[in-house]
Structure 1
């Protein structure tokens, strides 16, 4: 029972990282798609100010995922990191380069340097979610088991590629929804429509990839496909679709108050649907939760630590996110929201 509880904690934390970190990855995607220096000036400044107060906090969820995996399910951790070390390394390199690019772009005075650092940040924001999604797709397809050697075949199957593309599209959707709400909060009215259109386009991409996923997973990830089309997995997926449709309606009607909540619910429910679809396996169909669980006393301590984290860290993170979305941490100035030249643009 404790192993099952820790497994669900792991799924919930993955959902939290997908939503929190995914929003920032999505902002990076739109940074990449913003165009040249002049055309993309205003969207990029909004992205800088929207992300700056809290963007590093999302890594807390990723660290929690790693700790839960290697402590609670060490055999699964070994199997995953042995078979999928290359896409995981590429994702990690993307995270490092992404953080460096974002941190160095803002204080840079020369346009050429801002372009370089901005390109690093934007490309890494595309690469990282793709490889993380490919890893989840490889696990879901059953290509990873204890003793599976590392090879491209493990993480380049149809489910892996599709999961990577879905991760990029879903994060782009989240990022556009959040940036549209931030644009309204900061009074940048022209950017409200700018990101409204991109949120709708990203949702269309998610829908198309979701439709493609039905025959792909039926052939390549049969166990997960069955879980997503039956029982609680199907229920969570239907609720995710409903939340997505509600988000699109709110975006279309420019009802900004709840659209961020429903967009987060869309992705979180999709991750929960994957968790229900994959049970009782950690690695379909070779390792169940019970088979991959660590020592009983380790799981008890891990459960206690998770409870403490939920009581102490959870409310603090919620407060930071709340303050950020209300504009308390770093409000934009008039200079930030008007189309004016920036220092160093002529250098």
Structure 2
């Protein structure tokens, strides 16, 4: 049953990045859109995420619950050492969701309040994935110091380092790229399609540059990222497949096959996560000095894991069909309105 729980954890993290990350990316794209095109971008983004944006946070909640119940040592260490970036990330999620709701459903849509909501939405859309990436980078950086005796060593330097920040910037670029690819498929006017294709190309280049910064920062911070990825056949294969899927993605975009392009984008991101995660599995948190917290050893009692795994299996029978129906219903309603 432990394997089932771990698979659900990995599945939840992956889906949150693919779906929630694309939602964040919609705000990132809006942030870097010219004033004359902002309204068109907002309308297209709303058609894409609309009221289903909140459902995507379900995957984050599932991941947190799994860690809290099934892996309390890991949950505790992350919550203590990385509580500052986690708090900022959570505040960003709340601010973004609040602004998104108010700017779309506000009964009195005054210019001043709309501007406030728009600014909160776009900046929190940037800040949230930035700190999500910082948390992820910190977990594998080996900088978490459980023996720290000062505030800075215990709560700041664990995450405020070149590698974690570089991972955060890479996450922002990747979320923006995902959103641009998804929004190509949501666009009706040819002008909007071309605009999102251009943004996808720019964000693709930025993601590549930020990825290079991650490797550079890893060398500076003595994080063995290159060895993890290129010294392991599975991780290396994942990188090769991600590169191939990127080429195929742009071929399908140019041919107008938007749905297939989305699949290639999701596959590429999945391979990127696999290339990094596979090498140091089952270690979930790398501790300064060479220690680590493992999914296979730092878990709850067998009885707790069995109960959690059973709940996840039974819950998925209810949640997954309902979620699929929510997506289908909302997309079908958009088609009728169009």
Provide TM-score, normalisation by structure 1.
0.87
Mapping for residues 1-347 of structure 1, pairs under 5 Å: 2-36=1-35, 38-108=36-106, 109-144=109-144, 146=146, 150-183=154-187, 187-220=188-221, 222-229=223-230, 230-284=232-286, 285-324=291-330, 327-331=331-335, 333=337
Supply the distance in 2 between the matched residues of 1:51 and 1:209 (Cα, whole angstroms). Answer: 26
C-alpha contact (below 8 Å) 1:223/1:277 kept by paired residues: no
Supply the distance in 1 between the matched residues of 2:43 and 2:220 (Cα, whole angstroms). Answer: 44
- Give, in angstroms, the shift of residue 5 of structure 1: 4.2
- Give, in angstroms, the shift of residue 3 of structure 1: 3.6
User: Counterpart in 2 of 1:340?
Assistant: none
Name the CA shift for 1:97/1:332 in 2 (closer, same or farther; >3 Å).
Answer: farther
C-alpha contact (below 8 Å) 1:196/1:252 kept by paired residues: no
User: Counterpart in 2 of 1:343?
Assistant: none
Supply the distance in 1 between the matched residues of 2:32 and 2:98 (Cα, whole angstroms). Answer: 19
Name the CA shift for 1:225/1:81 in 2 (closer, same or farther; >3 Å).
Answer: farther
Provide TM-score, normalisation by structure 2.
0.90
Q: CA offsets, 1:71-95, max 9 Å, x none?
A: 1110011000100001100000000
Supply the distance in 1 between the matched residues of 2:218 and 2:111 (Cα, whole angstroms). Answer: 45
C-alpha contact (below 8 Å) 2:134/2:159 kept by paired residues: yes
Structure 1: gaps spanning 5 or more residues: 335-347
Supply the distance in 1 between the matched residues of 2:284 and 2:178 (Cα, whole angstroms). Answer: 27
Q: Secondary structure at the match of 1:283?
A: strand
Q: CA offsets, 1:167-220, max 9 Å, x none?
A: 10011001111111100xxx2221111101001111111112223333433453
- Give, in angstroms, the shift of residue 129 of structure 1: 0.3
Structure 2: gaps spanning 5 or more residues: none
C-alpha contact (below 8 Å) 2:47/2:186 kept by paired residues: no
Supply the distance in 1 between the matched residues of 2:336 and 2:130 (Cα, whole angstroms). Answer: 31
C-alpha contact (below 8 Å) 2:145/2:154 kept by paired residues: no
C-alpha contact (below 8 Å) 2:47/2:334 kept by paired residues: yes
Higher relative contact order (CA 8 A, sep 6+): 1
